[in-house]
Amino acid sequence: MSSEEEPKYQTPPTCDLLNLLLKNRRPTGAVNEVWPNLYIGDAATARDKTLLAHLEITHVVNAADGPQHIDTGPCFYKDTDIKYHGVQAPDCKDFDLSHFFSETSNFIHGALTQKGGKVLVHCARGISRSATLALAYLMMKEELTLVDAVTVVCRSRNILPNVGFLNQLCLLDSALLLQRKTPP
């Protein structure tokens, strides 16, 4: 089949993404490696310094940062060598998490390109906010489509970003597709 005959990828509607996310679900733990050296986990994992040391985590992204959420800022990790990046984001469909996609993806990418770099991205349950930021990283830095990123992550962890975050990921997917099609 020639490249002209191949079906072109299109960003799926949110309802199709939800079906993909809900298909083939299986029990997952508190923390899972979803991409080489990239982990998604919950608040308990982020607070367990012994577990983080065992996993050799070097960087933490807290997608539920702040005193009203999960207050594990840089001071919490001061007795470790862990580098910290916090995003104050409620798990609310009206919250625009996309403002944090670029800076968080850069933080994750910088960590993973370091020798021995391992990143935990977490929120309260490791399902919505943290998953959204991990998916954005895979799309922006690893150049996966949204469907491919969801497929990869769901092999290791059950995730379910809220509908607002899914819509933001769809917009990112469309923008990245257009950007990659446009010659420099």
Please give the full DSSP string across the chain, using - where no structure is assigned: --TTTSPPP-PPPHHHHHHHHHTT-----SEEEEETTEEEE-HHHHH-HHHHHHHT--EEEETT-STTS----TTTTTTS--EEEE----S-TTS-GGGGHHHHHHHHHHHHTSTT--EEEE-SSSSSHHHHHHHHHHHHTS---HHHHHHHHHHH------HHHHHHHHHHHHHHHHHHHS--
CA 93 centroid distance within chain: 16
> Does residue 15 have an active-site annotation?
no
Catalytic residue among 75, 92, 123, 154: 123
Task: Point out the residues that are catalytic.
Answer: 123
